[in-house]
Amino acid sequence: MIDKFKIACSIFIALLIVDQVIKFGFAHFGWGVQGPIISLQLAYNYGVAFSMFSFLAEYLKYIQLTLVIIGSFYLYKNQYLFKEYYLAIALLYAGGLSNILDRFTYGAVVDYVYWHYMFEFAIFNLADVLIDLAVALIIYKQFRNSKKSQETL
């Protein structure tokens, strides 16, 4: 358990730092590149995915931080879940806390990856990708565990 915790903390810290450095570059140094498929350009998201709940902009950071704290207490009480999903949890916390840190630092989430080939897609960032990857890992493990339990019946 201690080894998995150390691995998860290392992944969390490394990804949080990488994401924050990239966002700092876009927010303060004017980084940006226009491409035919994907452009890298600064955008501030005052809501959550696809700018939903942007009317809660000032309160979202507190709501999200509360959810992270509740989730942390839940993981503490159910440590077997951390043991099983430590990699996904590290990714989820790195992405989630990085976006929450943006809200406290910039007043909104710093987004910068803009897909615009054939259709316009939302602008997103590395933290969003980490959160999506964490959810995909959790779903994969759930399917795998479900399949294993069905095979044993």
- Structure confidence at residue 151 (pLDDT): 75
- Per the CB < 8 A criterion, the answer to whether 132 and 89 are in contact is no
3 as an active site residue: the answer is: no
Look at the block and give the residue holding tokens 């009480």: 77
- Per-domain boundaries in the chain: 2-146
Q: Report the chain's mean pLDDT, rounded to a whole number.
A: 93
Q: How does pLDDT run across 88-97, given as a tens digit for each residue?
A: 999 999 999 9
Cβ-contact 112, 24 below 8 angstroms: no
Of 19, 102, 128, 132, the active-site residue reads 128
**Number of other CB atoms surrounding residue 86 within 10 Å:** 20
> How does residue 153 score in pLDDT terms, banded at 50, 70 and 90?
low
Closest CA to 38 of 104, 125, 103: 125
- What confidence tier does 124 reach under pLDDT thresholds 50, 70, 90? very high
Catalytic residue among 3, 19, 102, 111: 111
Nearest Cα neighbor of 72 from 22, 137, 127, 8 is 8
Nearest to 115 by CA among 10, 20, 32, 35: 35
Indicate if the pLDDT at residue 150 is higher than 90. no
CA-angle at 71, arms to 98 and 86, nearest 5°: 75
Q: Is 111 annotated in the active site?
A: yes
**Cα(85)–Cα(64) distance, rounded to whole angstroms?**
21
Question: For residue 118, what pLDDT band results from cuts at 50, 70 and 90?
Answer: confident
pLDDT, tens digit (0-9, with 9 covering 90-100), for 24-69: 999 999 999 999 999 999 999 998 887 788 888 788 999 999 999 9
What mean pLDDT do residues 113-137 have? 93
Can you give the pTM of this predicted structure? Answer: 0.91
Euclidean distance between CA atoms 153 and 149, whole angstroms: 7
Residue of 100, 52, 46 lying closest to 72 (CA atoms)? 100
Beta bridge partners of 30: none
